[in-house]
Amino acid sequence: MALDQSQATAPGTLGRPPVRVPEFFAPARLLAGLWRYLPLVLLALAWEAATRLGVISPAELPALDKVGSAWWGLLAGGDLGDNTFISLSRAVAGLAAAIALGVPLGVMMAWSKPVRTVFNPIVQAFYPMPKSALIPVVVLWLGFGSASKILMIFIGCMLPITLSAFNGARGTDQVLIWSARSLGASRLATLTQVVLPGALPEILAGIRTAIAFAFVLLVSTELIVARHGLGYMIGWLGDGGVYDAMFAVVLTVAALGFLADRSFLLLMKRVLRWRE
């Protein structure tokens, strides 16, 4: 109480009620955001300066403004939109399949010893394997279309998600399961109502890693064998010597990856708001 009074009588801003501003538009936040990404802006300026001053030949690195107009051209022509849609659909399909299978497998591995005995050696052996080595095999099986890309993304994303679900579920506090059981929950109910939500922080962290893997595998698979997609565009434009357009697609992929990661991080914070 004493503290409240001293605040009310103090001069300045302490006693004033805070002004409610929508978070996104708060000038302080916007400024802080700009400040945070200042190094990125400086890098872009350095790029533009280096090409304009002739430090780097435009054949090796096209000027940023050329890349910008090439990007606009690709967007206006519809190529960029179509191929982005195709690539993102493949990424989403592969990731969704990896989550749908990886999470239950990881949780079951933690829950049941027979399941663990069978799958643990398989998961451990395949986890460190470079998944891109499988691209030719998968293409041989499924051909040049979307199926091979989706399978590659699925293979690459499934293991980190499985392992994170396994570790998260294995770390479940025993007394939480006991509490649920003594409150009347069945063994099966504790699996979905205690073990799964308890493992959620680790599962989401695993999915975040998997999103990054998905982009790597998407572009590398499309680069090697594809007829559509952003990776295919990069390869095709590069082979044709259209470097400004090629760079425009490369930057698009980078921006999409960044946006996907940031959005997922926001989602994570929302879902895990109980963690303080």
Binding site for another protein (CB under 8 A): 173, 175-176, 178-185, 189, 193-194, 197-198, 200, 273-276
Backbone phi, then psi, for 140, in 5-degree steps?
Answer: -60, -40
In sequence order, which residues have a C-beta less than 8 Å from that of residue 185 and are 6 or more positions away?
Answer: 193, 194
Tokens representing residue 237 in the block: 């434009």
Residue closer to another protein (CB basis): 69 or 193: 193
Residue closer to another protein (CB basis): 74 or 203: 203
> Smallest distance from the beta carbon of 196 to another protein, in angstroms?
10
Cα separations (Å) of 175 from 41, 108, 180, 228?
51, 19, 9, 52
CA distance 106 to 123: 10
In sequence order, which residues have a C-beta less than 8 Å from that of residue 126 and are 6 or more positions away?
Answer: 159
Closest to 162 measured CA to CA, from 233, 73, 99 = 99
Burial class of residue 138 (count of CB atoms within 10 Å of its CB; 0-12, 13-18, 19+)? buried
CA distance 105 to 158: 10
Residue closer to another protein (CB basis): 66 or 181: 181
> Smallest distance from the beta carbon of 192 to another protein, in angstroms?
13
Residue closer to another protein (CB basis): 147 or 176: 176
Residue closer to another protein (CB basis): 51 or 190: 190
Residue closer to another protein (CB basis): 4 or 276: 276
> Smallest distance from the beta carbon of 197 to another protein, in angstroms?
5
CA distance 38 to 35: 5
> Smallest distance from the beta carbon of 95 to another protein, in angstroms?
24
> Smallest distance from the beta carbon of 175 to another protein, in angstroms?
4
> Smallest distance from the beta carbon of 130 to another protein, in angstroms?
34
> Smallest distance from the beta carbon of 274 to another protein, in angstroms?
4
Q: Which amino acid is residue 101, in one-letter code?
A: L
Residue closer to another protein (CB basis): 16 or 273: 273
